[in-house]
Amino acid sequence: MSVIFEKSIPNRRGVTLPASDVPPPAPIPQQYRRGKDAALCELSELDIMRHFIALSQRNHSIDTGFYPLGSCTMKYNPKAMEVVARMPGFAGLHPFLPQLRYGGMLVQGALAVLYELEKLLIGITGMHAFTLQPLAGAHGELTGIMLVAAYHRKKGNVKTEVLIPDEAHGTNPSSAAIAGYTTRAIPTDAKTGMLDVDALAATITDKTAAIMLTNPNTLGIFNSHIARVVEIAHAHDALVYYDGANLNAILGKFRPGDAGIDVMHINTHKTFATPHGGGGPGAGPVGVREHLAEFLPISRVEKRRDNTYFLNYDYPNSIGYIAPFYGNFGILLRAYAYILSLGREGLIEASEMAVLNANYLMHNLKDVYDLPYNRTCMHEFVLSARKQVAHGVSAMDIAKALMDYGFHPPTVYFPLIVKEALMCEPTETESKETLDAFIVAMREIAEKAATNPDELKAAPLTAPVNRPDELKAAKDMDFAAL
């Protein structure tokens, strides 16, 4: 499909602006003006609608079909939350308004949302306080590690490294590195699929600033030894960072705060159903235990005795401004409406159904695909295409073949510790009928791997393109139509 700039017709217009109602000003001095107009496109509104609708039809999305992309939690995004985010009283609100004198009184509705959301997150996680400012999960990780650094700095601790399990998301080590720490990997126990606690005990030193833990981890396994991990870390005055990427599996079953976790983040798109948007925007609230609260970013939203809300900037030990304002408010608003909507029982049900759906899929696939960690899973599980590789069919071939069945593939080649990984996460909003259809497809593919591998290697045949040449892309470096 041709890029939009190729469709441009000189002098065609998409939007008409009001005529100026003020006297023409003296022109902008020549020395500041650009030499040549920016070559933007010239199209009618209908041209533009057709272009983008045609593009949209070249995407798979949750609303078009099953999307079991492990670790990404592609659950249904309820539409009421979109209505809330577009309410003019929220969408039209200027972020500097509360910074006028008494300006907090001009945004009481927005501050109430932020304050109440923080209280709900505290109830869900058992943490002491939250900042809602981080603009995505990875941004939350960075904020969390900065809080760790601030804690150690204030105590005069000399800490240089962060320990991270080898199955962790890549954002963990890169967040730690950007906050100034070196990182060391801790192996996963090959039998249990959990962090090797003995290896942790042998590796940790007084130089360890923190250990970052995802629980359930990226294999979809809940680490039952988390209390022991916390104990080992705290004995060295190392803090425990809980990556809440998989919080959606354990709502009402486990709260990080109860286990002595020091700092954690939440991905609102994973647990609280905010739309993934093709890769953002997200929000990554960070929760802390009491001893880290003084370091949280400013401002913080607080409530007065008369039940009015205000922004408090008076935290001298705060790490400062992690975001320009109060976080990705439009996203936080959706998460707030979602939590209100589901309520206590709905959140518990969401986790239970996510786990049941995952186990059901796993039980119906583990005889035809290798399951390296064969045990009850939480919200996701990791298969390996090892058996199929014997026929020359890779995890990637299976992924591409699934597209011809109308499904988005699972996550492939992650976590790195499983060879030929196929990481499946069905989420709670999928029905048994959908799961059954997926099982049929996966089993058929496994059969074809043995009988007709070439068919799988030719897939996908129904998609707009077939296996784009990634090496060519890296070599050509064609990043823009210039």
Partner 1 sequence: MSYVANTTAQRTEMLKACGVARVEDLFADIPAALRPKSFDLPSAKSELEVLNALEALSQRNFSHLVNFLGGGFYDHFIPAAVDAITSRSEFCTAYTPYQPEVSQGTLQAIYEYQTQICRLTGLDVSNASLYDGGTALCEACQMALHATGRDRIIVDGGVNPVYRKMLDCYTANLSIRFAEISVTHGQSDRHQILAALDDQTAAVVLQNPNFFGVMDDHRDIVEACHARGILVIQSVYPIALSLLKSPGEIGVDIATGEGQSLGIPLSFGGPYLGFMATTRDLVRKMPGRLVGRTTDRNGREAFVLTLQAREQHIRRNKATSNICTNEALCALRAHVYLSLVGKTGLKEVAELCYAKTQYAKSRFKQIPGVEVMESSPTFNEFTIRVPVDTGDLVGTLVERGIAPGLPLGRFYKGMENYMLVAVTEKRTKYEIGKFAEELEAALRK
> Under rule CB under 8 A, which residues in 97-136 are in contact with partner 1?
97, 99-103, 106-110, 112-113, 120, 123-124, 126, 135-136
Q: How far apart are CA 314 and CA 335, in angstroms?
A: 27
- Shortest reach from residue 357's CB to partner 1, in Å: 8
**In 223-322, beta strands by DSSP E:** 239-244, 263-266, 286-288, 300-303, 309-312
Within 10 angstroms of residue 264's Cβ, the number of other Cβ atoms is 28
Angle of helix 395-403 relative to helix 432-451, nearest 10 degrees? 120
Q: How far apart are CA 356 and CA 379, in angstroms?
A: 8
Q: Does 95 bind partner 1 (CB under 8 A)?
A: yes
Which CB sits closer to partner 1, 83 or 450? 83
Q: Does 447 bind partner 1 (CB under 8 A)?
A: no
Stretch of 170-178, 197-205, 285-293, 441-449 contacting partner 1, by CB under 8 A: 170-178
Which CB sits closer to partner 1, 186 or 250? 250
Q: How far apart are CA 132 and CA 155, in angstroms?
A: 25
What's at 176, amino acid-wise?
A: A
Stretch of 139-147, 231-239, 366-374, 447-455 contacting partner 1, by CB under 8 A: 139-147
Q: How far apart are CA 430 and CA 284, in angstroms?
A: 25
CB distance 205 to 159 below 8 Å: no
Preceding amide of 394 cis, omega within 30: no
Q: Does 300 bind partner 1 (CB under 8 A)?
A: no
Within 10 angstroms of residue 119's Cβ, the number of other Cβ atoms is 12
Q: Does 288 bind partner 1 (CB under 8 A)?
A: no
* Contacts of partner 1 in 18-37 (CB under 8 A): 18, 20-26, 28-29, 31-35, 37
- Shortest reach from residue 306's CB to partner 1, in Å: 14
Q: Does 312 bind partner 1 (CB under 8 A)?
A: no
Stretch of 233-241, 280-288, 382-390, 443-451 contacting partner 1, by CB under 8 A: 280-288
Among residues 276, 289, 300, 448, the one that binds partner 1 under rule CB under 8 A: 276
- Shortest reach from residue 141's CB to partner 1, in Å: 7
Distance from the Cα of residue 283 to its chain's centroid: 8
Which CB sits closer to partner 1, 144 or 449? 144
Q: How far apart are CA 19 and CA 281, in angstroms?
A: 35
Q: Does 329 bind partner 1 (CB under 8 A)?
A: yes
Token look-up 């400062």 returns 320
Cα-atom radius of gyration of the chain, to the nearest Å? Answer: 25
Q: Does 50 bind partner 1 (CB under 8 A)?
A: no
Q: Which strand (E) or helix (H) includes residue 137?
A: helix 137-155
Among residues 68, 84, 196, 210, the one that binds partner 1 under rule CB under 8 A: 84
Pattern 386-425, binding to partner 1, x per CB under 8 A? -------------xx--x----xx-x--x-----------
Among residues 199, 201, 348, 389, the one that binds partner 1 under rule CB under 8 A: 348
**In 345-468, beta strands by DSSP E:** 381-384, 411-412, 421-424
Which CB sits closer to partner 1, 88 or 156? 88
Pattern 191-210, binding to partner 1, x per CB under 8 A? --------------------
Q: Does 366 bind partner 1 (CB under 8 A)?
A: no
| Length of the chain in terms of residues written | 482
Which CB sits closer to partner 1, 276 or 448? 276
Which CB sits closer to partner 1, 423 or 450? 423
DSSP class of residue 395?
Answer: H
CB distance 186 to 166 below 8 Å: yes
* Of residues 221, 230, 213, the one with CA closest to residue 164: 213
Pattern 216-245, binding to partner 1, x per CB under 8 A? -----xx-x-xx------------------
Among residues 158, 170, 444, 447, the one that binds partner 1 under rule CB under 8 A: 170
Exposure of 90 by Cβ count < 10 A (0-12 exposed, 13-18 middle, 19+ buried)? middle
Number of residues that bind partner 1 (CB under 8 A): 204
Within 10 angstroms of residue 154's Cβ, the number of other Cβ atoms is 12
Q: Does 158 bind partner 1 (CB under 8 A)?
A: no
Q: Does 211 bind partner 1 (CB under 8 A)?
A: no
